[in-house]
Amino acid sequence: MAHPKRKTSKQRRNKRRTHYKAEAVTLAKCSNCGATVRYHHVCPECGYYKGKLAIDTEEMAIN
């Protein structure tokens, strides 16, 4: 049976154990304005999230 000559580092061990591929960010349409938005994020165009106003974008534009 083979014996390792050196200790396998945590980084090398963890790299070997990964079994996933990086995926693109999932996008959806805003229910209020129809803009493309990341899931579970406030719409940057209108400031709505789940049909409710989360951020007043007009106020943000003034500042």
**How do the domains of the chain map onto residue ranges?**
26-63
> Tell me, what's the pLDDT at 28?
93
What pLDDT is attached to residue 63?
A: 65
pLDDT at 34: 92
Burial 28-54 (b: 16+ CB within 10 A, else e): eebebeeeebeeeebbeebbbbeeeee
Which parts of the chain have pLDDT scores under 70? 60-61, 63
pLDDT score at 13: 93
Residue 26 CA: distances (Å) to CA of 5, 9, 33, 51: 44, 34, 18, 19
pLDDT of residue 61: 67
